[in-house]
Amino acid sequence: MSLQQGELDLGELKDRFAIITGAGNYGIGWGLARHAATKLDMHIVLIDLYSNTVESTAKELQALAPSRKIIPIACDVTNEADLEDVLRTLDIDHAGISIGAVFANAGVIFNNTIMNSSIEDWETTLNVNVMGVVKTIKTFLPRLQAQTKDSVFCNTASVGGLVRGDGGAASYQASKHAVVALSESLSFEIARKSPQIRVHVLCPCIVTSSLLQSSQKNKALQKDKIEETEVSPIRPEKTELGMSPERHAEQVFDLISAGKFYVITDNIRPYVDHDFPFDSADIIAERHRNMASLDLDNADAFSESSTSHPSSILKGALFREARRRTQAIES
């Protein structure tokens, strides 16, 4: 890409702020914040939609990193005024501490097909997942451009933003393709004028998170079905094949340090302990193999074809692993 994708000494981020949106629950944002505070000695700005969630999470992180400034801020990333207030808070209360990293990580997901999803869900998904990233960039990028120190700007997409749509969560997958393209454009736009800013797009594979549950809870709150006082951080259930947010963050910062623009996280050792190497590179390669011959042998992408592999690239790997484990048990 450019000089901005060279290797980065993560020690340069010490004692600087990491601003992380979508950090109120115990998912990817939490993992990034915890790693940045406890391993890189960064100060943290935790941003999430509701004060209850982000303040509770901040309290826990502060206990883990007592010498770090942990600042919880309730902020709607689709609201430019809210984002400007974040900068204003830092300028007033924490002048003199520069921003080392911005993670535009806030997102929502509604797991429905195109025809079974509402226009409202589509608008919410694209507004948060795409326009929320655009507004986060437009708010914080000028500040990073004004700094001379190396810094990181990382937008969260998904491995689903790199592969063919698979017949589920269509609005989410469309939004993540948009974030990948947006990040690629951003990288080229500032490559020469601001080479001190390392632009990355994070494409997670399987990570344990509560994104679906928190999306549904936020939707219920906005429809006045529950009160804001009922909103609290959601601890996701551990999954056998998924990486924990903490181990995922280790891999993210390793890849950022190595200068990888596409931060594609894999479920591989040493980041996971199980024996199923969910390799993102293979998934992406399968997409290109399918482009020559789109295999729609199966009208239902959530079940397996009897004649070929599943039409869903991502779910295909899961089907194969489930079959392998079943055969191992039976034998």
The domain spans of the chain are 3-264, 295-330
Q: Could you tell me which residues are beta bridge partners of residue 115?
A: none
H/E run at residue 154: strand 151-156
Which residue is associated with the tokens 């080392």?
100
Q: How far apart are CA 149 and CA 144, in angstroms?
A: 8
Which of 226, 232, 239, 110 is closest to 174 using CA atoms? Answer: 110
Q: Indicate the SS3 state at residue 27.
A: coil
Q: What is the pLDDT of residue 279?
A: 67
Q: Could you tell me which residues are beta bridge partners of residue 48?
A: 74
Q: Indicate the SS3 state at residue 142.
A: helix
Q: What is the pLDDT of residue 160?
A: 85
Q: How far apart are CA 74 and CA 47, in angstroms?
A: 6
Q: What is the pLDDT of residue 306?
A: 43
Q: What is the pLDDT of residue 128?
A: 96
Q: How far apart are CA 240 and CA 321, in angstroms?
A: 11
Q: What is the pLDDT of residue 1?
A: 43
Q: What is the pLDDT of residue 302?
A: 45
Q: What is the DSSP string of 29-90?
A: HHHHHHHHHHTS--EEEEEES-HHHHHHHHHHHHHH-TTS-EEEEE--TT-HHHHHHHHHHH
Q: Indicate the SS3 state at residue 148.
A: coil
Which of 26, 3, 16 is closest to 249 using CA atoms? Answer: 26
Specify the pTM.
Answer: 0.83
Architecture of domain 3-264: 3-Layer(aba) Sandwich (3.40)
Which of 245, 276, 280 is closest to 262 using CA atoms? Answer: 280
Q: What is the pLDDT of residue 40?
A: 98
∠233-28-251 over CA atoms, to 5°? Answer: 150
Q: What is the DSSP string of 162-187?
A: SS---SSSHHHHHHHHHHHHHHHHHH
pLDDT tens digits for the chain (331 residues)? Answer: 444 567 999 999 999 999 999 998 889 999 999 999 999 999 999 999 989 899 999 999 999 999 999 999 999 999 999 999 999 999 999 999 999 999 999 999 887 789 888 999 999 999 999 999 999 999 999 999 999 999 999 999 998 888 777 667 889 999 999 999 999 999 999 998 999 999 999 999 878 775 555 555 555 445 555 455 554 555 556 666 678 899 999 999 999 999 999 999 887 667 676 656 666 667 667 666 665 555 554 444 444 444 444 445 555 555 566 666 667 666 6
